[in-house]
C-alpha cells in the first residue's frame, strides 16, 4: 500500500516530536536538579585551576602587551633577539610587576586594614552607647511622644543585639575565610602555572581555536563567531582593564584626601571606595553608605566632610578620569546599565555586578544588529526616533 506523505503534516509531526523530546529532557533535568547541580559543581571544582589560570592570563595579558608594545619595543637590543626570548622577558617582567603589586598590598594595606577592622570591633559598644545618648537627646529636644520613643528604643536595642551577635561570629567567619584561602592555595599555584603557559603560547592557542571553528562551521558562521569573539574581547578588555585602573586611581585619590581631612580609618574607607567603584552606577553608593555610617559614629562633622569629599571625588571620576580611561566603551543607556547590574548581581553576586554591564552590552549589540538587519530587509527605517 502506497502512503501519501503530506509535507504540511510532516512538518507538524517533526515539530511535535522535538517539543516532546525537549519536554522530556526538561522534566528529567528538573527532577534530577540536585544531582545535576552536584555534578556541575564537581566538574567546576575540577576545572578551578584552569578557570583561575585563564582569568589570570586574561588580566595579566594587558600588562604583557604594555611591556611588549610600549616599553621593550623601543629597546634596540630587545629587537635583535628571538621572538620566544622576547616573550619570556615580557612574561618575566609581567609576573614581577604582579608580584610587586601583591607584596605592596600585603605589606602596606593589609596590616592597616586589619588594624582598622579590629579597632571598629572594639569600638562597637562605645558606638552603641553614643547612639543611645544621641537618641535620648533627640527625644528630649524634639519632645517626641512616648509611643515613638519606645519604638526607637526597641529598634536600638534590637540593632545592639544583632551587632553583638555579629561580633561573636566574626572570629569563626575569619577562620573560615582563612581555611578557604589555604585550601585554594594549590589551585592558585596551578592557576599561576597554567596562566604562564597560556601567555607563552597565546597566539598558538588562538590559531588552534580558529582552526577548530573553521573545521566545524561554514565560512560565514565562522566569520560571525570570530567577529563576535573580537567584539567581546574588545568590550570586556576595555571595560575591565579601564575599571581596574580607574578604581585604583580613585582609591589612591580618596586616601590622599581622607588623610588630609584626618578621617578615621582612612585606609579602610579608601579601599572600600576604590573596590566598590569597580561596580558601575551603584558602586559609589554601595561604598559610600557604610563608610558614612562608620564615620558618623566617630564624628558627625567628619561624616558630613566625608560626603562632600565623596561628591568631589565622584565628580572628578565622572567628568575627568572615567571618560579619559573608559571613553564610550559600553555604548548602552543608564537604564540598561541599571538593568544589567541588578539581574547579573542577583544571579552571580559581586562578580555579576562587575561583568554584567559589558556582558549585556555585547548581547544588546547583537540583538540591535539583528533587528536593524531585518528592518532593512523590509525597507523600514532603523533609527528608533522614527518610531516615536
pLDDT at 96 over 90: yes
Half-sphere exposure of 35 (CA within 13 A, CB side): 5
Mean pLDDT, residues 41-63: 85
User: For residues 250 and 321, is the Cβ–Cβ distance under 8 A?
Assistant: yes
Q: Per the domain annotation, does 146 fall within a domain?
A: yes
Quote the radius of gyration of the chain (alpha carbons, Å).
28
Confidence of residue 384 (pLDDT cuts 50, 70, 90): confident
Instruction: Name the 3-class secondary structure at 252.
Output: helix
Interatomic CA distance for residues 313 and 334, integer angstroms: 20
Most confident of 14-18, 137-141, 211-215, 299-303: 211-215
Nearest to 281 by CA among 344, 237, 362: 344
Mean pLDDT, residues 261-271: 84
Q: Per the domain annotation, does 178 fall within a domain?
A: yes
**72 shares a domain with 2:** no
Average per-residue pLDDT for the chain: 78
Number of structural domains in the chain: 2
> How large a percentage of the chain has pLDDT more than 90?
6
Mean pLDDT, residues 201-207: 88
pLDDT in tens, 314-336: 888 877 777 777 655 566 777 77
Measured CA angle at 103 (ends 101, 108), to 5 deg = 100
Predicted TM-score of the model (pTM): 0.69
Last residue of a domain, one of 157, 183, 200: 200
Mean pLDDT, residues 347-368: 81
**69 shares a domain with 149:** yes
Interatomic CA distance for residues 22 and 28, integer angstroms: 10
Q: Per the domain annotation, does 357 fall within a domain?
A: no
**85 shares a domain with 14:** no
Burial of 23 (0-12, 13-18, 19+ CB in 10 A): exposed
**165 shares a domain with 141:** yes
Amino acid at each position: 500500500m502506497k502512503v501519501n506523505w503530506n509535507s504540511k503534516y510532516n512538518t507538524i509531526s517533526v515539530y511535535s516530536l522535538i517539543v516532546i523530546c525537549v519536554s522530556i529532557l526538561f522534566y528529567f533535568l528538573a527532577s534530577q536538579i540536585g544531582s545535576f547541580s552536584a555534578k556541575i559543581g564537581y566538574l567546576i571544582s575540577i576545572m578551578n585551576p584552569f578557570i583561575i589560570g585563564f582569568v589570570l592570563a586574561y588580566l595579566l595579558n594587558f600588562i604583557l602587551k604594555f611591556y611588549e608594545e610600549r616599553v621593550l619595543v623601543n629597546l634596540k637590543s630587545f629587537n635583535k633577539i628571538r621572538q620566544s626570548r622576547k616573550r619570556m622577558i615580557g612574561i618575566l617582567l609581567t609576573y614581577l610587576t604582579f608580584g610587586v603589586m601583591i607584596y605592596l598590598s600585603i605589606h602596606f594595606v593589609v596590616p592597616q586594614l586589619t588594624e582598622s577592622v579590629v579597632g571598629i570591633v572594639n569600638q562597637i559598644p562605645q558606638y552603641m552607647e553614643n547612639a543611645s545618648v544621641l537618641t535620648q537627646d533627640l527625644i528630649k529636644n524634639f519632645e517626641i511622644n512616648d509611643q515613638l520613643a519606645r519604638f526607637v528604643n526597641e529598634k536600638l536595642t534590637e540593632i545592639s543585639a544583632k551587632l553583638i551577635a555579629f561580633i561573636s561570629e566574626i572570629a569563626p567567619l575569619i577562620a573560615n575565610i582563612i581555611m578557604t584561602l589555604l585550601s585554594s592555595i594549590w589551585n592558585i599555584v596551578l592557576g599561576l602555572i597554567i596562566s604562564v603557559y597560556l601567555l607563552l603560547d597565546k597566539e598558538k592557542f588562538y590559531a588552534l581555536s580558529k582552526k577548530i571553528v573553521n573545521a566545524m562551521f561554514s565560512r560565514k558562521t565562522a566569520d560571525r563567531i570570530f567577529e563576535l569573539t573580537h567584539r567581546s574581547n574588545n568590550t570586556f578588555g576595555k571595560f575591565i582593564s579601564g575599571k581596574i585602573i580607574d578604581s585604583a586611581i580613585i582609591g589612591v585619590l580618596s586616601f590622599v584626601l581622607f588623610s588630609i581631612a584626618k578621617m578615621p580609618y582612612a585606609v579602610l574607607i579608601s579601599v572600600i571606595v576604590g573596590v566598590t567603584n569597580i561596580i558601575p552606577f551603584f558602586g559609589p553608593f554601595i561604598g559610600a553608605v557604610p563608610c558614612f555610617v562608620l564615620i558618623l559614629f566617630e564624628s558627625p562633622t567628619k561624616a558630613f566632610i566625608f560626603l562632600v569629599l565623596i561628591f568631589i571625588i565622584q565628580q572628578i571620576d565622572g567628568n575627568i578620569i572615567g571618560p579619559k580611561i573608559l571613553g564610550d566603551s559600553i555604548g548602552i543607556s543608564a537604564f540598561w546599565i541599571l538593568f544589567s547590574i541588578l539581574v547579573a548581581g542577583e544571579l552571580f553576586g559581586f562578580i555579576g555586578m562587575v561583568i554584567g554591564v559589558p556582558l549585556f552590552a555585547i548581547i544588546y549589540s547583537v540583538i540591535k544588529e539583528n533587528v536593524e538587519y531585518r528592518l532593512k530587509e523590509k525597507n523600514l527605517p532603523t533609527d528608533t526616533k522614527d518610531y516615536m
